[in-house]
Amino acid sequence: MFLPLLVWALVFAFAYTQSPLYTSNQNQYFLQGIAAAGKGVLAQDWLANTFDPTPIFSAFVQAITRYLHPWFFYLVAGCLLSLYFLLLVHIVSNIRSQPRSSVEQALFFSLLILIHSAAWRFALSRTLGPNWGYVIEDGLADQRLLGPVLQPSMFGVLLLLSILLFLKNRPFLAVVSSGAAATIHPTYLLSAAALTLAYLILLLLEPSPAGENRLSQRRLRKIILVGLCALLVVLPILAYAYLTFGSTPTETTSAARRILVDYRIPHHVQPEVWFDGTAVIKLAILTAAIWITRKNHLGVILLVPALSGLVLSLLYVVTRSDFIGLIFPWRLSTFLVPISSAILIDWLLQLIFKFRWPQSRRAQRSLLVLAYSLAGMALLVGLTRQVLDFQRQLNAPEQPLYTYVKNHLEAGQIVLTPIKMQEFRLATGSPVFVDFKSIPYRDLDVLEWYRRIQVADEFYKTPDCALLSSLLATETLTHIVLPTGKLEGGCDLLSLEFKTPAYEFYSIH
């Protein structure tokens, strides 16, 4: 049974697909690890020397960059994708009263693969809009466990492992697993706390052996020890966060939070931005799953985090507290929604298989063909999409520029780039002045990042020599990237080093 299940998990991973290195959020979360590993001259980059919000992940990136081939990142992401599939299968199987038939199981696996596949995302995005691609998989506010790139949030898979371990009566290992997820990505601290609360409630309410009081000393000792274990696991990252972020003046903290909430990540924070039709569907799926599992432990494990997230979200709506907004109470949905979707699929299949027609031999053969066809189609589209993504990256108009800069690195160089050119750092190994995608998290650094963004954005609106001269009076820059033909009339301060149809690369005198 294990080998066929492993094959299904691998199909899931390839059908999901991965984007090429280094794209999207990897430009944020890989920077400090790659800089520490000595790639290019990134150790001199301003952002690479700010406080690191995910030190464990950065150490992991540093080790792979220094000692292994970069393709190992794809392998790690593939393992996490496969583990995610296996955990969803076992969590849902754990609450079933009877095992699935081979046909029902094949259908369950194939549907689970389909709703997570690149093919499904492409179809939904093209028919309903870009916000609908992950509607059955991700949580609220465009936050999710998985995604097409390896990043700290992908280790939220450990939250699913935590739930399965508790359902298997391993409460201490369960809180260690959820605490590990929070240690790798501190935004999971609230998720780990909510799960721990659910576990403690279930331990308190579990049936008592004959002659033992529900509040017996033995039971209370176990509950206290589980809670202490959960606290000890996350204590190092809590201490790191407090020592790093807890000593800034209140006015500075408020200003930095306001920049993040209103300017940089409103799509992750403000309900008026992210609450739409997809959010309604996700909440409906979660509500249905809680109702389906209301008579077993999984129902409580879903209900307690859901209520915790709801209460804190409503509190944010009422108070508009930036602190509450930036702990992302709706992020709890990132593990609740995928579990709920899997529960709902399994429940619907159980309803269908109660009818007589699926039991006939002809229907069984047809359903089996359907299951394998769906999985095969998702796999084929996923592989095709992955090849196309790699080709698209190789043929991007920025690639010749990246190659030139990578081959002509100089110590001490700082490049001014368009603020949306987010891949420049990791593609070239060169420090940049600032970009919009990659941000620091310490309050003073956020204010400096915002200042730099305003300076760079103002220059690129109407670049000219006078504006550049004014900029150089206050900023240290050695090179500049401009869209080809953007700087009219030339500039004595610049020497053209490299030119493509899309971009020009200048050194600054």
Q: Tens digit of pLDDT for each residue in 66-121?
A: 999 999 999 999 999 999 999 999 999 998 888 888 899 999 999 999 999 999 99
Residue 220 and residue 163 in one domain: yes
pLDDT of residue 362 exceeding 90, the answer is no
160 within some domain:
yes
HSE, CB side, 13 Å, CA atoms: give it for residue 171.
23
Same domain, 348 and 413: no
Q: What is the pLDDT of residue 492?
A: 87
Per-residue pLDDT reduced to its tens digit, 308-330: 999 999 999 999 999 999 999 99
Does 384 map to a domain?
no
178 located within any domain: yes
348 plus 486 within the same structural domain: no
**pLDDT (0 to 100) of residue 245:** 66
Average pLDDT over residues 475-485: 93
Per-residue model confidence (pLDDT) at position 213: 63
Q: Number of structural domains, the chain?
A: 2
Considering the domain boundaries, does residue 139 fall inside one? yes
Q: Residues 240-245: what's their mean pLDDT?
A: 77
- Which has the higher per-residue pLDDT, 241 or 153? 153
Give the pLDDT mean for 233-260: 85
What was the pLDDT predicted at 354? 84
Residues 421 and 297 in one domain: no
458-481 average pLDDT score: 91
State the average pLDDT over residues 413-431: 95
**Range 371-393 burial, b when 16+ CB lie within 10 A, else e:** beebbebbbebbeebbeebeeeb
Instruction: Note the pLDDT of residue 4.
Output: 87
Asked if residue 161 has pLDDT above 90, the reply is: yes
Q: How far apart are CA 365 and CA 357, in angstroms?
A: 12
* 389 is a domain residue: no
pLDDT on residue 2: 74
Q: Are residues 146 and 284 in the same domain?
A: yes
Q: Which residues pair with 34 in a beta bridge?
A: none
Q: Are residues 406 and 296 in the same domain?
A: no
The reported pLDDT for the residue numbered 274 is 94
Query: Is the confidence at residue 172, as pLDDT, over 60?
Result: yes
Q: Answer whether residue 434 is part of any domain.
A: yes
pLDDT for residue 251 is more than 90: no
Considering the domain boundaries, does residue 450 fall inside one?
yes
Domain shared by 199 and 301, yes or no:
yes
Domain boundary among 304, 332, 357: 357
Round to whole Å and give the CA distance between 142 and 155: 17
Give the span between the Cα atoms of 121 and 137, in whole angstroms. Answer: 10
Is the pLDDT score of 65 beyond 90?
yes
pLDDT at residue 297 in the model: 94
Query: Of the residues 295, 327, 357, which one is the last residue of a structural domain?
Result: 357
Do residue 224 and residue 142 come from a single domain?
Answer: yes
Burial of 239 (0-12, 13-18, 19+ CB in 10 A): exposed
User: What domain range includes position 171?
Assistant: 2-21+70-357
Same domain membership, residue 436 and residue 350: no
Give the mean pLDDT of 22-48. Answer: 94
Range in 217-221, 372-376, 391-395 the model is least confident about: 217-221
Helix (H) or strand (E) holding 503: strand 503-508
State whether 295 and 415 are in the same domain: no
Q: Is the pLDDT of residue 196 over 60?
A: yes
CA 326 to chain centre: 15
pLDDT of 211 reads 55
**Does the residue 17 lie in any domain?**
yes
The rounded mean pLDDT for the chain is 93
491 and 352 within one domain: no
pLDDT-derived band at 231 (thresholds 50, 70, 90) equals very high
| Domain termination site, one of 332, 357, 382 | 357
Q: What does the pLDDT average to over 260-284?
A: 94
Question: Quick one: 404 and 338 in the same domain?
Answer: no
